[in-house]
Amino acid sequence: MNGVLLSVLIALPIAGAGAVAFISPRRPAAARAVGLAAAVIAFLVAAWIWAAFRPGRPGLQFEEHAAWVPAAGIGYHLGVDGLSVSLIALVALLVPVAMAAAADQVHDRTKGFVLTLLLLEAGLLGTFLAQDLVLFYVFWEAMLIPMYFLIALWGGPARRAAAIKFLLYTMTGSMLMLLAIVAVYLQGARVIGTPTFDLPALAARPLGWTPAVEALLFGGFAVAFGIKMPVWPLHTWLPDAYAEAPPVVTVLLAGLMAKAGAYGLLRFCLPLFPDAVRAWGPLFAVLAVVGILYGGAVAWAQGDLRRLLAYGSLSHMGFILLGIFALDIQSVQGSVLQMVNHGISTGALFVLAGILIGRTGQGRTDAYGGLAAATPALAAVTLIVVTSSLALPGTNGFVGEFLILLGAFQTHPVHAALATVGVVLAAAYLLAFVGRIFHGPLRPDLRGLPDLRPREYAVLAPLLALIFWVGWVPGPLLDRSEATVRALLKPRAVFVAGAPHASMTPPPAGVERKGGAPVKQAVTRP
Amino acid sequence: MTWNDLAAAAPETILVVTACVVLLQDAWATGAAPEAERRGSAPAWLSLAGVCAAAIAAAPAAGEVAAFGGMYVRDGITRLADLIALGTAAVGVLLADAYVRRMRLPAGEYYALLLLSTTGAMLMAASRSLIVLFLGLEILSLPLYVLAAIARRSTRSQEAGLKYLLLGAFATAFFVYGVALVYGAAGTLDLRVLAGQPPSPLLGGGLALLTVGLGFEAALVPFHGWAPDVYEGAPLPAVAFMSVVAKVGAFGGLIRVFPQGLPHAAAAWAPMLQGLAIATMVLGNLAALPQTNLKRLLAYSGVAHAGYLLIGVAAGGPAGTGAVLFYLAVYAAMNLGAFGVLLLLDRRGAEADRLEDIAGLWGRAPWAAWTLAICFVSLAGFPPTGGFIAKLYLFRAALGAGQTTVALVGVLTSVVSVFYYMRVAYVAFSGEAPADVAVRPSPLAGAALTLATAGVLIYGIIPARLTAAVQQAAALLK
Amino acid sequence: MSAVAVTAVLIPALPLAGWVVLGLWGGRWPGRAAGWVASATVAGSFVAAVALFESLAALPPDARTVQVDLYRWIAAGALAIPFRLLADPLSAAMARLVAGVGMLIHIYSIGYMARDAGGARYFAYMNLFMASMLLLVLAGNLAVMFIGWEGVGLCSYLLIAFWFERPAAARAGVKAFVVTRLGDVGFLLGIFAVFGTFGTLDFTAITREAAARLPLGGGLATAIALLLFLGAVGKSAQLPLYVWLPDAMDGPTPVSALIHAATMVTAGVFMIVRLHALYLRAPFALDVVAVTGAVTAVFAASAALVESDLKRVLAYSTISQLGYMFLAVGVAAWAAGIFHLMTHAFFKALLFLAAGAVMHALGGETDMRKMGGLARPLPKTAAAFGAGVLALAGIPPLAGFFSKEQILGEVFAAGHPWLWGIGLFTAGLTGFYITRAYVLTFAGPPARVHENVHEAPPVMWWPLAALVFLAVVMGVVLEHVVPLAPWLQPTLGAGALKSAGGAAAAAAEPGAVHAMLLVVSVAVAAGGIVLGWLVYARGAIRGQAPVLGTILAHRFYIEDLYDAAIVAPSRALAGWAAAVDRGVIDRAVLGVAGGLGWGGAALRRLQNGYLRQYAAFVLIGALIILAYWMLRP
Amino acid sequence: MTVPAPYYLALSAVLFTAGTAGVLLRRSALIVFMSVELMLNAVNLSLITFARLHGSVDGQVLVFFVLVVAAAEVVVGLAIIVDVFRSRETVDVDDADALRG
Amino acid sequence: MDVVLFGITAVCALAGGAGVILSRRPVHSALGLLLVLLSLAVDYLLLGAQFIAAAQVIIYAGAIVVLFVFIIMLLSQAGERLGPGAFDGPVAVRFVAALVVLLAAGLIALVTRTPSAPAPVPAAFGTIQDVGRSLFGRYLLPFEAASLVLLVGMIGGVALGRRLGPRT
């Protein structure tokens, strides 16, 4: 069973979409139920994978490898490792969450919506699971089309422009990446002897680039991932897309798709172009810091709810980027964790934004005021999510950002210091957000606005639980990624082609840590 | 002529015979009420049978068989080109049936011309002599002129025919002049002999003019001027057919002349083709941006795709040639599918070819909308459709040949193309259907669309077999 | 788990549980149930804290440092942060103080918030605050401390903005949070630097290895110390990050008492004492701490002189007193700092709660210009406030006297006569402004007639009374009965012994000098009181200093400076960045798209339908490729 | 053969060019068409010349096919032109500009 | 002798060519074309292409030009409109002229670089037997293909020339 589990995971949403396709458009509830069922089953599978994943091993697990287009060296190669295992769980979690939230927010052409959402999920899962460059690219792009339609068909008044902007932006990046992929393949064929798009095979040994070529190819990948994240200044699709997409879709856009960019940097750029990453890392660190501060500042100046969150997201993704390019075990671990965290908290923020907008139809913050009086539960939940976004300790956001900044400080102290200022900016704009919406005198037209409904509680509950769980017990997540990240940062020792299980003896967790106390040891007297 | 020769050219022979049978049947059967039958008309079924028979004849992979004194070769390239052309013909027939009857076009002539044109394309792809190439070109294009003008009640169809014909004849003159110069330089019309010739200015001039003629048929910029106007004016099924078959012929010819005919002079001709490819991709895609007439939009799209195809020819070698063949197969499927959906629509007895005509298609005919979306997504080059794999191979070929610039332009223009393709897909899925546009599904057209969509998806999701076939075919060029 | 461990865990866990329970279900409970439950959890904490204190006391002094590891919290690479509590004399004393004062204020709040609909929310926040503060105090490493550190900040924000429908309160909450976060930047960076230096964030390890890893007076030690101090400046409202605290008075008064007087704002002092080993390696940083404290003390005291809002007077007073504490720790008088922290907690909480009682009586009024003569209707409150006044002013034998004297003595002994002078002057100012506040509120003729003025209900009065008692006796107790300094010695090491009370300091000095200092300081404080009485009660001195008054009223224009130099430019910068985003970056992108569209339109014009034009294209193309072939080298 | 081959070829080139000019400059579809025929004839001259030059009959054979093709093109072309004329009463190619953009 | 003959035919051909493209009336163009065809037929003879010369006269002059004239007569009103058309502005004309001159220059430059010495040829070169043998031997496939071209022409003529039924 484990041999095909990942394929099953990807196939589930597709099968769900197929099932939904046969439901009459006049029965939206049935479509929603079937779609949700498929997504929940996929979540269960993903949760099982997450639980069964064995930490401490750097290589791929649940690996599947089959020929796809043997004549062209394209393989069907799936696998999870520390980088992706939590992300696929996040995908599988957020999609049903979004789908459930959509029940209250999307009433138009429900069948198509559910169907498209499921296709998107398949694309997302595949993106995080693919270990073959072409397969990855297929999934990477396969996310785009459903997302385009989700924005263009179910979005706000300027949805068409936003959707096409999103699409063209991301396409530009991915097309450059495609060229880079092909170039890697060709070079790989020259060096390895057999033409292959298989990532572990290509990453197994240096491909003998000249620095200039390596930088160019790294650039091709980095632009694609940078647009997706987004990295300043490639971000201007983001506010439009985030603001125009239906909020539940923005949940996925911000919560998951952005992660695909950061994930790609770790998954592909680090192993394939280690030297270029080190050479150009400082530039990206600077861009990350600029993004953090710039995003925060612009967010502060936004009058639109979702634009504010969008720029906030830009700022937050800057932390992840900084963590990656600080190339320090703590910072990269922090980034990997923060990808999940940001997915949870930004996802929750946009769910909340969707609830608000669904209630009032208003997107601008000045249309709100004093809502804490009318909807105390909503206010409380928002506050919790905001604290997570603010990276307050005790929430998930803290662990990630703390690790990122701590790690980055060791290698890039100035960057880290400036990035830490971004934490203040986050406080400024997020509390301004809370203040404008929930504080102050209650606007008369908002009186009697209904508070959270049971279904909305149900949607938010898992996210809130995760916020605290990861905040207090991040160990399971960090442990899962540690070995992989460690291997990733060790130049050229990571991917042993074909035999990831066999070769590496996992470093015994916790033993070699400096100053660390073993778990659960009650009292130590110095 | 021996039986072997005829056996080698069996697909063409079958098509020609079928064309004659169709004509005769049509002549006998005049007076039968054509409108009533939903099952499809007799000429359509006859043509289909002929095409299938030809496909069966073309299908076996038989290594390399030279016939007619070496002027005609049946090898992997021929086989694939034949199958693509025949598939196009089959889908073209299926798509045309309802339209031909609805618009009261002369059915016998229509199908006979379609079959002959297919024959021409197949001849071009099989030619190893410039004479055969020239005649194939004419057999391909002459029927297309007629098909463009065949909706005689429509002044637009007439205009399309006139433009196509006059410009086509003009370009043919260039082509023949090119043949003459090559002949003058090499003293031979045999492409196999040509391969040993050192490049000379005269040969170069000949190749240049040859390229004009082939480029015209392929609608390369700047020889593309006819394409938008003809596509817009000609009857839809004819456009669907010609948009593919002309490219099959033209690129079959280009492969025979350049990568296969002159591999040693690649350094000389590759830059020319790259330049043309760049111009074609850029202009085709840019010009498509503001289009609101779908036929016109697809015409420019066809121009742009000619540019992509040319990347493969310019890259040459097995990789480039294989990529071109793969791309042609995918292009046939997706382009026919795209046009095919338009064929289902009817605006008060006329073609519904405006962008707004497909609005709300999703609501009234979801499967048609999905087909359209899949085909346009493929045209835009997104996975998991064939369009993506095809582009992947093209870029691989270009980068493998060190042609980075053209690949870069290719990817960037692909991004531009996304704008107009996805706009169409968007419109089909949104808005209200216009009241005066009706959806007229027919079983044959449905079958055609199913075939096309299946092709698009199969080439995208399980492309292994086609890839292997294409590689095997192109391996000849090593 | 040992008893120590259990109690140490229980101390923050009880209020945390209270928060969870209240947050989830408290809203549905009838009447004052939420308040009592919350108070009960804190009382439980207090009991546990006392138990912890006692069990530590039962141990030999060298064994009084107990680390309690709950689980591995964050681990990545070489970084391993256990969730670790540290039970030692310092944290035990602090926990007992925090839980005790917190318990009293919780109980007081039951009465104070009785009429407020959001009681459950209030007590949930308060419980969360208690949990955070106790965690801060008991934390075994910097990361865990940071949980508490940020937790109290969050609760501060929540409670300041408790009456969120008041825009001023909401704004003040945000201000408090953002300004303290500004300090937290330094704190965080300090933590990172500590990790970079020590490879751990553990307090005991830092204390143990500071001398080994940090050269005395080295740049690294100074940098770390100053970065961490920045956090303390924000949290403890020192110059220049004090601005949030006066505004924080928009929150409910018990909140001001608990968070913005007794506990949270002292976290900075506590943190420095906790990391005293590190600070000892950075004398310059210590000097900075001391000077900052001294300047803040006198500055805030002078600002309090002209403030007309009762709570704001107390707020400035708090800032000023915190300055005292920093002055103390700045001269490495750790125990003195903690001593003052404790006495201040008692008398300042007392003052606030008394002020709260006044407000309770007057329906929320805080403007002293509208008060006066309240001693008559509110004698008990007036008396309590009066006790606080004397304690704050440092009149013997009340609590403030002892701790203040200890500080001034240490400062003088440490060889900082200027700082001593400032402290002394501040003592005079303190006496003056607090007397002024008392007089304006309770003495003299009523400024206006208030309806229905009544004493606080018992549930408020008893905590008040308890604080009066504490404010009166705790100085003596901690100086002489259960001396603080020796108790803290296991934690603070030799440093604690050095500052073993004013008496010890005095032992080093000639008795005459010490006595003189004592007399001078008491005289100054008393002088301030007398002067205040004369000016405000008797109207004896009518001298006006309008310029000075104006400057003081504007706090030396520091806040205006902030607005002009930082806040406004930041906002402008943000707006500018947003404009750049739309106008430059996005426009560049749209420009590319527009250019492509324009190209398409141009090509469209070229395709003009004329056959001969197309033929010309063909010819041009033919010519170009012909030229290519002919011109090819 | 006493006339140098380049003479013939140059004549052919000039005639070809003349035909091109006719296509570009004339507005009557008939004359345009005749210009194309002129171009084809020019090509034929080149082919015959080259055939003579190389002493191979291939060129002549090709000319034969060009003749055939020209005949077929003329049939189709004239049919279209007649058709156009029937509906428009003109064969001016500049009038055929309904399809554009 | 040959040179003189070539000179005459060249002049005639050029005159005919000019006539094709410059005549106001299509029928004059057709006559110009005829002149070109006949002149070239003579050249073909000079170049040893007897069969093609004959075919030229029969097919081109005898069939194609006649067809042209026939159609010109049929469309007797189809005179070109006077005055500049949409594409006949002075700039456009000059531009076209420049293009044409460039083309001529390029082509002449290209072809005049060829060697002028012809290969020796047998006596039967270009005779009907010679060409016929090729046509039905080596060039059988093109020959068959040419029949297809004619078939297409025929079908096209039928399809486009047939009387239209009543509009529905």
For B298-338, the pLDDT digits (tens) are: 999 999 999 999 999 999 999 999 999 999 999 999 999 99
Q: Cβ distance A14 to A114 under 8 Å?
A: no
In the block, residue with structure tokens 């033409």? A195
Q: Please determine, for residue A511, whether its predicted confidence score (pLDDT) is greater than 80.
A: no
Q: Which residue of B has its CA nearest to D62?
A: B131
Asked if the C-beta of E21 comes within 8 angstroms of chain B's C-beta atoms, the answer is no
| Chain D touching partners, 3 or more CB pairs below 8 A | B, C, E
| Chain A touching partners, 3 or more CB pairs below 8 A | B, C
pLDDT tens figures, A18-51: 999 999 888 889 999 999 999 999 999 999 999 9
Going by pLDDT thresholds of 50, 70 and 90, the confidence category of residue A514 is very low
pLDDT tens figures, B369-384: 999 999 999 999 998 8
Largest CA distance in chain E: 66
The per-residue pLDDT for C545 is 60
pLDDT tens figures, A489-498: 886 544 444 4
Which chain C residues are Cβ-neighbours of B271 within 8 angstroms? 628
Going by pLDDT thresholds of 50, 70 and 90, the confidence category of residue B32 is low
Cα distances (angstroms) measured from residue A519 to each of A389, C71, C610: 28, 5, 83
Interchain pair B189, D50: CB under 8 A:
no
Q: Which residue of E has its CA nearest to B140?
A: E149
Backbone angles phi, psi at A442, to 5 degrees: -65, 130
Asked if the C-beta of B119 comes within 8 angstroms of chain E's C-beta atoms, the answer is yes
Cα distances (angstroms) measured from residue E58 to each of A188, D59, E136: 65, 19, 20
**D/A touch flag: 3 or more CB pairs below 8 Å:** no
In the block, residue with structure tokens 């008398």? C347
pLDDT higher for C245 or B324?
A: B324
pLDDT tens figures, D17-60: 999 999 998 888 899 999 999 999 999 999 999 998 888 888 99
Q: Cβ distance A127 to A482 under 8 Å?
A: no
* Range of weakest confidence among C129-133, C437-441, D12-16: C437-441
Phi-psi sector, B240: left (phi>0), alpha (psi -120 to 50), beta: alpha
How is residue B330 written in tokens? 């995918």
Going by pLDDT thresholds of 50, 70 and 90, the confidence category of residue A448 is confident
Question: Number of helices and strands (H, E) in chain C?
Answer: 28, 2
Contact pairs from chain B to chain C, CB under 8 Å: 87
CA pair distance D57, D3, nearest whole angstrom: 19
Rounded to the nearest integer, the mean pLDDT of chain B is 91
Asked if the C-beta of C574 comes within 8 angstroms of chain B's C-beta atoms, the answer is no
The per-residue pLDDT for C408 is 85
The per-residue pLDDT for E116 is 62
Q: Which residue of A has its CA nearest to B414?
A: A175
CB-based contacts of B140: which residues, under 8 Å, 6+ apart?
B117, B120, B121, B123, B124, B217, B245, B246, B249
D30, D32, D43, D74, best to mutate vs chain B, most B CBs in 10 Å: D43
- What does pTM read for this prediction? 0.91
Q: What is the DSSP letter of B346?
A: E
Going by pLDDT thresholds of 50, 70 and 90, the confidence category of residue B412 is very high
Rounded to the nearest integer, the mean pLDDT of chain D is 89
Going by pLDDT thresholds of 50, 70 and 90, the confidence category of residue C502 is very low
Going by pLDDT thresholds of 50, 70 and 90, the confidence category of residue B81 is very high
At how many degrees (to 10) do helices A305-326 and A396-411 cross?
40
The per-residue pLDDT for D65 is 93
Cα distances (angstroms) measured from residue C89 to each of A38, C63, C69, C135: 57, 10, 18, 15
Which chain B residues are Cβ-neighbours of E160 within 8 angstroms? 146, 149-150, 152, 161
The per-residue pLDDT for D25 is 87
Q: Cβ distance B117 to B136 under 8 Å?
A: no
Which chain D residues are Cβ-neighbours of B233 within 8 angstroms? 98-99
CA pair distance C331, C283, nearest whole angstrom: 9
Nearest to D83 among E87, E154, E160 (CB): E160
The per-residue pLDDT for E78 is 52
| Identity of the highest mean pLDDT range in C321-325, C411-415, C577-581 | C321-325
The per-residue pLDDT for C500 is 43
Nearest to D56 among B155, B170, B187 (CB): B187
- Per-window interface: D 20-39 vs C, CB < 8 A: 20, 23-25, 27, 32
- What is the dihedral sign for C-alpha C391, C396, C402, C404? positive
Interchain pair B132, E151: CB under 8 A:
no
Report percent pLDDT > 70 for chain A.
93
Q: Is B67 helix (H, G, I), strand (E, B) or coil?
A: strand
The per-residue pLDDT for C632 is 80
Q: What is the DSSP string of B124-151?
A: HHHB-BHHHHHHHHHHHHHHHHHHHH--
Q: Please determine, for residue A271, whether its predicted confidence score (pLDDT) is greater than 60.
A: yes
Could you give the dihedral angle defined by the CA atoms of residues A328, A514, A340 and A391, in that order, rounded to the nearest 10 degrees?
A: -90
Report percent pLDDT > 70 for chain C.
94
Mean pLDDT of the region E37-51 = 91
- For A450, counting Cβ atoms within 10 Å of its Cβ (0-12 exposed, 13-18 middle, 19+ buried), the class is exposed
Nearest to D84 among B146, B162, B180 (CB): B162
> Number of C-alpha atoms within 13 angstroms, CB side, residue C142?
30
D17, D36, D40, D92, best to mutate vs chain E, most E CBs in 10 Å: D17
- Per-window interface: D 6-65 vs B, CB < 8 A: 9, 16, 19-20, 23, 29, 32-33, 36, 39-40, 42-43, 46-47, 49-51, 53-54, 56, 58-59, 61-62, 65
Nearest to E110 among B116, B119, B205 (CB): B205
Nearest to B411 among A137, A153, A176 (CB): A176
The per-residue pLDDT for C541 is 57
Asked if the C-beta of D78 comes within 8 angstroms of chain B's C-beta atoms, the answer is no
The contact set of C with D (CB < 8 A) is: 604, 607-612, 615-616, 619
**B/E touch flag: 3 or more CB pairs below 8 Å:** yes
